[in-house]
Structure 1
Amino acid sequence: MADIGLVGFPSAGKSSLIAAISRAKPKIADYPFTTLIPNLGVVVAGETVFTVADVPGLIEGASLGKGLGHEFLRHIERCQAIVHVVDMATYEPGRDPLSDLDVIEGELAAHGGLDDRPRLVALNKVDVPDARDLTDIVLDDVQQRGWPVFVISTKSGEGLTPLIYAMAAIVQARRDAAPPPEPKRIIISPKAQPAKGTEFSIRQMGDGEGGFVWRVEGEKPQRWVKQTDFLNEEAVGFLADRLHRLGVEDELLRLGAKEGDAVAIGAGVDPVVFDFQPQIETDTEIVSRRGSDQRFDSKRPSVLRRRELDAEYHAFKAEKEGH
């Protein structure tokens, strides 16, 4: 979640600290549990840039789930280092800075898995006269534990710069010790274009009237057929040109289709049936132009059948409307 996790009792000054050392603007108030979710702040110390998380306040029993403790402790697991923010000016009965520190450490130990996290201790609110009087006693105890300790005031800014650079040193040291990430190979894989002839398939279905019946199936031919207005000869010529460029005619010829053979395009029981009339090529030039295909010069059986059906339909419609 963040490089540094700020932990401490509610109202210890964690939100004030993150607001003082970064541009984060957490909710700050003088009552407990004003922070219900972690606040993140980006901190710059020289050439090191790192993130700090203001983890919601822990209380005794957090490791047992008290005060949403399990949720808060899981946030700390994702931090590289821990900073204890100790309230030096608390007036709550039964609390003092060292006891607060012991309680928080006890909860971290009970949660488990955090022993390897480096610790820093920030003795906060020393701008309060009574709090400053306690610093010598607390400093000596914390230093005996082997933890770096900083006397700070988020209100006056005292001690914040040394604390920031101490955080940065820990973060940078752990980054340097981490194994370098494996470089990611950028693989650019252009979408494969189907080879000519693989966008359709042709099957020989058997003998049909006037020759073999050939079935052409494929997404493109079937889509083109559905889009074609067969009452428009120019549209039909355009369809023929597209099928030729796709390689349908070449494949039919390769399989042995003869002029006049019935060719069905489409799947299912209701395909569109054509009479095979290959385009005539001279060298690389087709002897016809789009929209005036020479195959329209002769009326093929399939064309005549379609026109007869169309004429019958229009006659029926006109008769019905007349009544």
Structure 2
Amino acid sequence: MTTVPTAPAPPMPGRMHRPGTTVFALTVACAIAVVLSVAIGSVYIAPEQVVSVIAGHLLPWSADSSATDVQARIIWEFRLPRALLGLVVGSALAVAGAVLQAVVRNPLADPFIFGVSSGASVAAVAALTLVTGTLAAVSVPLAAFAGALVTTLTVFLLAQQRGRVTAHRLVLAGVAMSYLLSSVTSYLVLRASGPGEGVSQVLSWLSGSLAAADWGDLGLPTLVLLLSTVGLTLLARVLNAFLIGDETAASLGVDVGRVRLGLFVITSLLVGVVVAVSGAIGFVGLVVPHAIRMIVGSDHRWVLPASALAGGLLLVVVDIIARLILAPRNCQSAC
């Protein structure tokens, strides 16, 4: 991708003079939210015990936990993976939303308007309703990821006009694919033979959930999130140029078509990876970037890291509230 010499971000009302303070505050808030998420549940565990158990696993020579074996297992095996997965998924969706809103210059753009979620949903629902047994549990994340990637490529091909991809055609192609794939998902749900044979699993996946999180779900999404966020932050000036307009970006040396393709693929990969493990979770990618721009301005050097932290924080807090409202019935979901 081409590096832009300098692309000043458009002014934003209410911009803070010290966006670094916002990033620091969000970092602290995320740490507190994770501890509270682990502490709160059907079995309450004191936050200091949560910190002690986590420190005992990370730094076994320096921690003396007062938690019982049962509490330690609840913290490490059930609640902490769920809290961390919420942090990763929320961060990924918020970063993807911030990038897509800049690339297509549409304030309503989010990772799901381009059909990525719908593609993942169709593939996952097909795996849940057409595959049975142990193979279904293994194939659902893989199918969701493959569906997201295939949809991404299809949307980009449909958006081309004379070898070029414009922001407007990209949005139209994404919306069209989203509606088409949503209807396919509805058909697969309706054709399922009964509520005990996959429908409840399908509805749970389509609603998005962190309940079944374990440590195995965290590796790939975390790696993709870190690499994508760092890479996209290095391209912050390119994103700032896109905010101004394609003509301005081109005059600053950006290969608009090629860079837009690259950014679209990166964000779709990011969304596909997290949707594959959490199900279809909306709202985060649409709202969080707007809220962050109101606080730190529109310079993507600050928008991207702040959006990542705020998105993760939002999803962890929402998950805490959801667990309190919908009292769990078993240890797997309670913890």
The answer, yes or no, to whether TM exceeds 0.5 is no
Report the TM-score when normalising by structure 1. 0.19
Report the TM-score when normalising by structure 2. 0.18
Question: Which structure ranks higher in relative contact order (CA pairs < 8 Å, sequence separation ≥ 6)?
Answer: 2
Q: Which has the higher strand share?
A: 1
- Greater C-alpha radius of gyration: 1
